[in-house]
Structure 1
């Protein structure tokens, strides 16, 4: 009898535990999933015109500005329209193999395969867009693309040429604002390091970064190395090296055709869309360390003179600090006189 009562008590306890677990389970399932990603409810698709403007001038970026083999220029633009769960690239994250090849060599094949795979696997990519290269540090490239509510984000990348693995671009800019599309978006662009090549200057030879670093923004003080082509310790911030304008346009049934030849321009284009004043960044003179003191020249028993020199590493520009004296003498007494 005691055994039967004990078995019933255990059964009742298990029954109440099961009821409690089911009750808690139901209440957990009914709780809403928190999210900080706004939902786009725009009813129709939208068409945008993208205008990329290079602002890489010798006046704004005088240090080691590439003038030949090759001169300063921009690669073609590769972009995608996508949902919030996809990233072509992200700051402080590792670059994919596709981003690596594009940032280092301008080769887009692997990057395009990565985009296609993401679109097939999670259906996060809606469309791929491109625009022609800009032959020169300044100039413009244009393209048009379409977005809709589920895929309202734009990302793109443009390689800085020449450079080790530097690029500009945007990561997941949302063109939707609640139930409508934004009329216009303008963003200033700054250089990024893909973290795959350790070169400091525009024309550095290929020097693979092992282990690979994360994507970081290049600033006037980072990397903090005097050889860095973007190192301007007197500046609080680098001037923007490019900008992009996204303008909503009226949809038509016309087929968009892209120019097959790169844009050629050595001057900032004129027009209402270009209102920026030319920036003159001061570049201070950089001199080498002093050489060792030379031999003391003079007669025995009398004071002589010895000489040392240094040379200019970087000439000043745009009213930067002038170069110091490059030669120096001091009195001395000859050694080993007979």
Structure 2
């Protein structure tokens, strides 16, 4: 029995050490749709007051996930070297190095580019609850230093009862920005460096992006975050941990309570050698479940509880 007890304790230590680092993870698809066109060609969404260049295109979409607001990208300040290189050349390499070296960042992802003025770029990403903010950028190409961006969009909703706390699918309007690093107001990639260097500013209602109505900010496209799926967070795991088992130790009968609002899929009892000794039938809507274990020998057992996405193991002693 001494060896069995030590083995059981080891199992529990390993289990709880693993869930202690658990966090919710969500999968999204990010879809950037460009409306970049002149009002003459697109009376509804047209934004450019001058003709688009024959080689109009978008650079590969640079995406970063991070922990806090403005830690990757910030408007109204001098652009980082990485953002400057994206805005001027559509090159993501320096920005990737910045994200990788930033302790506040988690992941760097690259979506495909777009070899036309209009179209879509789609990229699937995975976001953790510890790093729920998403920032992204793509160059308006060719141009002096113009780009679109989404800065520090938080994908957590604050409502853990829906999508495990992640936002449902939603769409943001996106607008053109000037990185403040290169002069020029036409679609040209060869321009003098700004002196002094400026800050990132909006180009909405500024040439050549005056659009069909200069009295309103006219979007150049949209970014849609499509929620796909997610895992439960540590808080959700704790819901399983809140299930009460009594008496424990038991003489042969136990009661599982606090189960009414839990999507409990299974409850199984294993001996310390890992053999299944009792599969407990689950009926939805019960506030408690009474189980007869009088046929089992005295000793230490493991009660395995599983919800739709997670599992929990509890120690059970029969005297």
Output the TM-score relative to the length of structure 2. Answer: 0.59
- Change beyond 3 A, Cα 1:219–1:85: closer
Q: Give SS of 1:203's match.
A: coil
User: In the alignment, which of 64, 72, 90 is matched to residue 50 of structure 2?
Assistant: 64
Q: Partners of 2:87 and 2:167 in 1: how far apart?
A: 30
User: In the alignment, which of 58, 66, 81 is matched to residue 82 of structure 1?
Assistant: 66
- Alpha-carbon deviation of 1:138? 1.0
Structure 2: runs of 5 or more not aligned = 1-21, 232-319
Cα pair 1:66 1:162 within 8 Å, conserved: no
Output the TM-score relative to the length of structure 1. Answer: 0.55
Provide the aligned length of Structure 1 versus Structure 2. Answer: 199
Structure 1: runs of 5 or more not aligned = 1-41, 223-227, 253-338
User: In the alignment, which of 220, 228, 232 is matched to residue 241 of structure 1?
Assistant: 220
User: Is 2:183 aligned against 1:198?
Assistant: yes
What residue is the counterpart of 1:147 in the other structure?
127
What residue is the counterpart of 2:137 in the other structure?
157
- Alpha-carbon deviation of 1:204? 6.2
Q: Partners of 2:48 and 2:198 in 1: how far apart?
A: 27
- Change beyond 3 A, Cα 1:199–1:146: same
Q: Give SS of 2:180's match.
A: coil
Cα pair 2:47 2:219 within 8 Å, conserved: no
Q: Partners of 2:29 and 2:212 in 1: how far apart?
A: 37
Cα pair 1:156 1:171 within 8 Å, conserved: yes
Q: Which has the larger radius of gyration?
A: 1
TM-superposition CA deviations, 1:109-131 (whole Å, max 9, x none): 1111111111xxx3x11111111
User: Is 2:163 aligned against 1:177?
Assistant: no
- Change beyond 3 A, Cα 1:234–1:183: closer
Decide which structure has greater strand share: 2
What residue is the counterpart of 1:106 in the other structure?
90
- Change beyond 3 A, Cα 1:50–1:184: same
- Change beyond 3 A, Cα 1:206–1:236: same
User: Is 2:51 aligned against 1:51?
Assistant: no
User: Is 2:236 aligned against 1:250?
Assistant: no
Cα pair 1:164 1:201 within 8 Å, conserved: yes
- When the two chains are superposed, the root-mean-square deviation of aligned CA atoms in Å is 2.1
- Change beyond 3 A, Cα 1:246–1:94: same
Q: Give SS of 1:176's match.
A: coil
- Change beyond 3 A, Cα 1:159–1:204: closer
What residue is the counterpart of 2:208 in the other structure?
229
Q: Give SS of 1:134's match.
A: coil
Cα pair 2:47 2:212 within 8 Å, conserved: no
- Alpha-carbon deviation of 1:232? 5.5
